[in-house]
Structure 1
Amino acid sequence: MSVEPTHPQDADVIVVGGGNAGFSAVHAAATRGRKVILLERGTEDMAGGNSFYTAGATRIVHNGLEDLKSLVEDDPRHAETVVPPYSAEEYQADLEKVTEGRNDPVLTEVLIKEITPTLLWLKSLGLKYRLMYERQAYERADGSYLFWGGLHVGNVGGGEGMIEDHTRVAREHGVDIRYGHRARSLITDDSGKVIGVRATTDDGDVELYAESVVLTAGGFESNPEWRRKHLGEGWENAKVRGTPYNQGDMIAAAQDIGAAAGGDFHTCHSVQWDALCPDNESNRALTNRLTRQSYFLGLLINREGERFLDEGADFRNYTYAKYGKEILQQPGSIAYQVYDSTIRPMLRTEEYDMPGISVRRADTIEELAAQLDVDQDAFVRTIEAYNAGVDRDVEFDPTVKDGKHSAVSPPKSNWAVPVENGPFYAYPVTCGITFTFGGVKTDDHGRVLDEQGQWIEGLYAAGEMLGGLFSVNYPGGTGLAAGCVFGRRAGSLA
């Protein structure tokens, strides 16, 4: 909606959305002396966007453990730890591989070049980082630890700790955080420049005016109608892992004033998610712990008793964000992760040992099948065929792609340990949607562009609203990395 700019400015910069990207923009603006208002749809006890629900993992470029010590908190295990370097070339190759080459090359270059200095900047402001032993390393026989998969660093306290740190830093810099404000539309002047935001609160509608507006309000994964429209039939049934507030409001608001769509609206980040936990959507207490991400160590079997993908195709970090879709497409949108007693102790404690977890246990495969909603005979045959196909001459090593395979169809290419020692365990999983890949089109500084490629003056975007980096899949930890980098970029200009 266009108005004459007759209202005094409430702030220099308004940031819409209080997740990792939003706070990164807030810090960049506030440390430049800008007066900043942060609008967060959630109340204070529901704030933080999707970032609150994450494990806090962030993919960065580094030269190994000695290089990382300037970033991460001290840990006595460091003396016995090996962290392989992760180069810019590896980062780029991983992004290109998992997105099937659909990642924007300019945005990719900026992300890779700036992520490490950006995290060091955030640390200098007061955020805390650590090595993620429980998620990205295994203890070896000699007591040492080896990290794998290119993703090594995360926030202390996970997503909850990240948002707590971000909020504290913002308040230290005098940022005005306004909870319970659902931004609904953008205000423009007669030239088309964005000069403010309209929001709805419990006390009614408000209009706030500023020199610049930064949109970091997430995608549309919490909107079942939008999911069905853009992702396809059946996606309305996916479980929302994170915030219930990402309805696509500000994507629509930006498009209403001429913003071009950016990125892939037809794919998303989705994972294997506890299918039967009674509170398995937007769970603030369990957050990320409802994921089931040790699947590469076991088997995935559907209701028809059949395997349907290669569980060991690659490190978890490069497959987990696309396998939720594979589960959604199975009969009943459910499958079962199956393990035996040999592998069970290696499953992530934070995901497989918590109270109330959905699990079935039995002393034999036949007894396990009888407890599941599966074709029991096919289930048993599938495991027998898999066991018969395992190459038992190759040593199992979860820290590398060990080539220990099972010659079945589909194959299991790595980490193929026979499922033969009782008791046996089955974990029912469904599709948990994390975030969508489509948003608004921007340049490499987060300036929102119209259909002619021109900047809509006064308007920026970052985080999940910035389209173009991801399609089909993404390497674990790049979502938070992009939020930090492009949030900071937008806030540095706004």
Structure 2
Amino acid sequence: MTTSPTPDTRIGDAQTGTSLDADVIVVGGGNAAFTAAHAAAERGRKVLLLEKAPRDAFGGNSYYTAGATRIAHAGLEDLQDFIEPDERHAVTEVPAYSAADYTADLVRVTDGRNDPELTEGLVQEAAPNLRWLQSLGLKYRLMYERQAYQREDGSYLFWGGLHVGNVGGGEGLMHDHVRVAEQLGTEVRYGQDVTGLVVEEGQVKGVTVRQEDGSLQELHAESVILGAGGFESNAEWRREHLGEGWENAKVRGTPFNNGDMIAAGLEIGAQKAGHWSTCHSTQWDAFTPNNESNRELTNRLTRQSYPLGIIVNTEGQRFVDEGEDFRNYTYAKFGREILKQPGSVAYQIFDAPLRAMLRSEEYEMPGITVAEAGTLEELAEKIGIAPEALTGTVQDYNGSIDTTVPWDPTVKDGRRAETTPVKSNWATPLTEGPFYAYAVTCGITFTFGGLKSDTHGRVLDAEGEHISGLYVCGEMLGGLFAGNYPGGSGLAAGVVFGRRAGTLA
């Protein structure tokens, strides 16, 4: 794969006579950007992909994910044509997840603020587009370690509507994308600081790239696809758009998503879209060294077994309904709630039986922030909480649970703790030591505000007209999510709208 232009690769623009560097320039280097590049290259277009990060930091936010991708399907038999074989399939139950289920989940978790036309495209095309990517060389599997529980008879039951992910997680996803791009002849250049868009006679005809000496170089193409992510790594923008305190959030993913290309689009008249005051934020290890943009641990710094236990702030008080829904539908908003707590820190509390059920990839990672003690009083002292506060909260919680209702983590079991706040499902008394406390803070993943487009990624101006030659996909595309999102729908949206943009550009 080449990393610098050569004179004989330039092509001509028949309309203007301008010498072009490519037919299509893609700005960004994550799942959506590479998907767009593949779609354009498959059509015979000469594609140039510009990634801001250096080669050793490639992959955008997608690299830091678990690779989970939400699709509609009719159950395990419907998935087996494109997922990797596994001997466990013979004893596995994967409940069907219909297009209607997918749509209802998007409407529910965003409080109806999702764009219905974008939603329809996502829901209908996510599954066939994963099959397309698999045909190109990407690899998918069932996510046993994250989305299934093993039952007493040795069988597995999947839950929560999110069942399929990439082999190798986000790292595997992005290594596969890079390999496919090379096979399709896409030129990828790293360390490209794209600063703006080139507009000629009302059409976007390329981009400007800042060189090491500070000078600007213009690269020309018939069209440009923006897939450079949101503004989550820009502390100033976070404070401005999300509110005071958000500058303190930990950046889970790439440090290069600073909103520059959103600003570039707005500068030439693109319309804003989406919910600019909210974002995807999750519970993130609070005190582990290097707990931002960690390429070794990536998604393992999340703490997502919280529906099994309780979460308390530094005053020993609960403040969310940990069992409101499956974690797939709550984890992207609970980081925001922790940010509001004293010191922006909270603790997930479990007893010994629950500790055995926690996700090993997240709760057994190197250097994890955890305190362990034989009693709740000792645990409270270790984490700096007044012992009477923590023990009082746990006693109130334990005493409010209707233990006659069967406990079942694979369904919303309705086993409630009638305390304040209520815990709606999966309430079980914390009684058996040792007890564990995992310190968590707010980890920001991506922002929900972006550029306005039609359903095929064509960027729209203030009058709702297409800005000729300009397309958008991925986290830069505003309108799908607000306040919250269903887990795995971000990568799915990148695939769907990346392919749509690449098919037109």
By the TM > 0.5 criterion, same fold? yes
2:5 matched residue in structure 1: none
- Could you tell me which of 438, 449, 454 is aligned with 1:438? 449
Q: Counterparts of 2:387 and 2:403 in 1: how far apart (Å)?
A: 26
Deviation at 1:309, TM superposition (A): 0.8
Deviation at 1:377, TM superposition (A): 1.5
- What are the Cα deviations for residues 420-464 of structure 1, in whole angstroms up to 9, with x where unaligned? 100000000000000000000000000000000000000000000
Q: Counterparts of 1:352 and 1:5 in 2: how far apart (Å)?
A: 58
1:388 matched residue in structure 2: 399
2:310 matched residue in structure 1: 299
Deviation at 1:404, TM superposition (A): 1.4
- Does the CA contact (< 8 Å) of 1:180 and 1:201 recur in 2? no
What are structure 2's unaligned runs of at least 5 residues? 1-14
Q: Counterparts of 1:321 and 1:372 in 2: how far apart (Å)?
A: 25
- Could you tell me which of 24, 30, 40 is aligned with 1:19? 30
- Could you tell me which of 128, 132, 152 is aligned with 1:117? 128
3-state DSSP of counterpart to 1:11: coil
- Could you tell me which of 367, 370, 373 is aligned with 2:381? 370
Q: Which amino acid aligns with 1:109?
A: E
Does residue 418 of structure 1 match 2:429?
yes
- What are the Cα deviations for residues 298-356 of structure 1, in whole angstroms up to 9, with x where unaligned? 01000111000110010000000000000000011000000000100100000000110
Q: Which stretch of the first structure deviates more once superposed, 316-325 or 389-398?
A: 389-398
Does residue 476 of structure 1 match 2:476?
no
Q: How does 1:13-162 map to 2 (within 5 A)?
A: 13-162=24-173
Q: Counterparts of 1:222 and 1:132 in 2: how far apart (Å)?
A: 29
Q: Which amino acid aligns with 1:199?
A: V
3-state DSSP of counterpart to 2:440: strand
Give the RMSD, CA atoms, in angstroms: 1.0
1:260 matched residue in structure 2: 271
- Does the CA contact (< 8 Å) of 1:5 and 1:195 recur in 2? no
Q: Counterparts of 1:7 and 1:50 in 2: how far apart (Å)?
A: 34
- Does the CA contact (< 8 Å) of 1:447 and 1:456 recur in 2? yes
Deviation at 1:394, TM superposition (A): 1.6
Deviation at 1:203, TM superposition (A): 5.7
Deviation at 1:201, TM superposition (A): 3.8
Deviation at 1:6, TM superposition (A): 6.0
- Could you tell me which of 209, 212, 216 is aligned with 1:199? 209
3-state DSSP of counterpart to 2:343: helix
Q: Counterparts of 1:108 and 1:363 in 2: how far apart (Å)?
A: 49
Q: How does 1:447-462 map to 2 (within 5 A)?
A: 447-462=458-473
Deviation at 1:293, TM superposition (A): 0.3
1:238 matched residue in structure 2: 249
Deviation at 1:5, TM superposition (A): 5.5
Q: Counterparts of 2:285 and 2:370 in 1: how far apart (Å)?
A: 9
Q: Counterparts of 1:30 and 1:354 in 2: how far apart (Å)?
A: 39
The TM-score normalised by the length of structure 1 is: 0.98
- Does the CA contact (< 8 Å) of 1:187 and 1:198 recur in 2? yes
3-state DSSP of counterpart to 2:221: strand
3-state DSSP of counterpart to 2:425: coil
Q: Which amino acid aligns with 1:41?
A: K
Aligned residues: 490
Q: Counterparts of 1:91 and 1:385 in 2: how far apart (Å)?
A: 37
Q: Counterparts of 2:180 and 2:128 in 1: how far apart (Å)?
A: 18
Q: Counterparts of 1:442 and 1:154 in 2: how far apart (Å)?
A: 28
Identity of aligned residues (%): 66
3-state DSSP of counterpart to 2:456: coil
Q: Which amino acid aligns with 2:55?
A: E
1:170 matched residue in structure 2: 181
3-state DSSP of counterpart to 1:184: strand
The TM-score normalised by the length of structure 2 is: 0.96
3-state DSSP of counterpart to 2:353: coil
- What are the Cα deviations for residues 119-177 of structure 1, in whole angstroms up to 9, with x where unaligned? 10000100000000000000000000000000000000000000000000000011100
3-state DSSP of counterpart to 2:23: strand
Q: Counterparts of 2:293 and 2:63 in 1: how far apart (Å)?
A: 10
